[in-house]
Structure 1
Amino acid sequence: MTQLFTQSNFALPDEFYERLIDAHRDLSTQQSHAMNAALVLLLSNHIGDMGVVADALAKARAVAQHTD
């Protein structure tokens, strides 16, 4: 099983963030949620390793549970 890599893997992380924000620009909240869901499914399929995806889901859920 491949391990989830959690360190930044982008040469230009700010460029990724800008692109992510731009992709959400002018979307309704519902459209933004739908885009996030589609992005998760596309990237999970690209990863193709259930162990890595399960680890990512667990880590993301833990972050969400500690956000208020």
Structure 2
Amino acid sequence: MALKNEMNIPDHDDFYKELIDSQRDMSDDEQQLMNAKLVLILANEVGDREKLSAAIKLAATRP
């Protein structure tokens, strides 16, 4: 299953800023917990097991 490779987030720079700003005053452990929770929330929203497996493989690929 191929995932989207083109930018698909409206105002992606604003989204990135919001994400970074939301963690600005957190410890490393708090940031990791928030990121883990966010991944699980978004995975639940996607809900497609095949897409989630493809995303895991893509994210685990080293540059």
The two structures have a TM-score, normalised by structure 2, of 0.88
In the alignment, structure 1 segments of 5+ residues that lack a partner are none
In the alignment, structure 2 segments of 5+ residues that lack a partner are none
The two structures have a TM-score, normalised by structure 1, of 0.82
Give 2:41's aligned residue.
42
| TM superposition shift of 1:39 | 0.4
Give 1:27's aligned residue.
26
Poorly superposed stretches of 4+, deviation over 4 Å: none
RMSD in angstroms over aligned alpha carbons?
1.4
Q: How many residues in Structure 1 have an aligned counterpart in Structure 2?
A: 63
